[in-house]
Amino acid sequence: MLIFAFSSQKLVPITHFNVLANVVQLTLYEAKGRGKPSYRDVLLGALPLSHIYGVVVISHLSMYRGDSIIVLPRFDMEQVLSCTQKFRINTLCLVPPIIVNMIKQPDLLARYDLTSVTTVISGAGPLGPETVKGLAKYYPTWVLRQAYGLTESAACICHTSAHDPWIGSSGSILPGVQVKLLDQNGDEITACDKPGELLCKSPSIVSGYLHNETATQETFMNAEDGHWLRTGDVGLFSKAPSGNEHVLIVDRVKDLIKVKVAPIP
């Protein structure tokens, strides 16, 4: 079976291998931040499970690790807060507009017991430093973890580990993922803090677009060293205070991804 998703009006065939590869990558990457192997999380499942974020991070990854998922039919702020209190949810999987909305309603959030929450995962769009600081003002113990990926990479390229958060960063590169930056001349950038177009190679990356050879050739590059995805995004490598290398996305030149499940043609 294949999952078909739309990215900028192009149909992306995502295989089970792509999804499971990213599940294994994320499991290995997050092992240190989760602590003991016996740890089990309680996760909020209020985002669309047809979006690549929901497919991989919420559905498959959590079930693979034995976590519990509190699935809601749609996102409703009061219902989310009520369920967080009732089911003692530990991890909130959110997107930036929801986090901004939470910051604007501190009185509403204060009516609920959210002491079970330890982590907020943000994906599917950039999260500004002011938003991060705004959330930390009300909930300083919550660890905010950002991730970066595309539908074509199914899903994560880099992610923030619970033991190494850094404001403004999209985290570090996952195991099995290779990332390189190219300047405007197509030359590879090897220095830190110098931006360039981000290319990545991973077993989770799809082979191309369905019935669209032109778009496939524009976005995917088959070189001697493998199959690379041109993300169209501008990023840079930088050293966090911890000394670990992080990826920062400084510009997004592609449209936001619209995803849905489509039948196999």
* Residue ranges in 139-260 assigned as alpha helix (H): 213-219
Length of the chain: 265
Mean pLDDT of the chain: 89
Rounded average pLDDT over 80-88: 98
User: For residue range 5-63, what is the model confidence (pLDDT) as tens digits?
Assistant: 656 667 888 999 999 999 999 999 999 888 898 999 999 999 988 889 999 999 999 99
Is the per-residue pLDDT at 224 higher than 90?
no
| Bigger pLDDT: 171 vs 261 | 171
**Given this model, what pLDDT does residue 257 score?**
39
What pLDDT, on the 0 to 100 scale, is given for residue 238?
96
- What DSSP string describes 6-27? EETTEEEEE-HHHHHHHHHHHH
Of residues 125 and 236, the one with the higher pLDDT is: 236
The span from the CA of 128 to the CA of 208, in Å, is 31
Instruction: Answer whether residue 249 shows pLDDT above 80.
Output: yes
Structure tokens at 69: 């998922």
Residue 224's Cβ-count burial label (10 Å; 0-12, 13-18, 19+) is exposed
pLDDT attached to residue 181: 95
Strand partners, 42: 68
Share of the chain above pLDDT 70, in %: 91
DSSP per-residue codes, 84-109: HHHHT--EEEE-HHHHHHHHT-HHHH
Would you state the pLDDT for residue 167? 86
Q: Is the pLDDT of residue 258 over 60?
A: no
Q: Are strands 143-149 and 119-122 parallel, antiparallel or unpaired?
A: parallel
pLDDT of amino acid 1 = 52
Q: What is the tens place of the pLDDT at every residue in 107-164?
A: 999 999 999 999 999 987 778 888 988 999 999 999 999 999 999 999 899 999 988 9
Specify the pLDDT at position 150: 92
Q: What is the mean pLDDT of residues 243-263?
A: 64
Q: Where are the domains of the chain?
A: 3-252
The mean pLDDT value for 187-195 works out to 94
**Residue 259: pLDDT band by 50, 70, 90 thresholds?**
very low
Greater confidence, 1 or 182? 182
Token code pair at residue 40: 């089990």
For residue 68, what pLDDT is reported?
Answer: 97
Bridge partners (DSSP) of residue 144 are 120
3-252: in CATH 3.30.300.130: no
- DSSP letter, residue 204: T
Q: What distance in Å separates the CA atoms of residue 225 and residue 186, rounded to the nearest whole number?
A: 16
Question: To which H or E segment does residue 130 belong?
Answer: helix 129-138
pLDDT for 110: 96
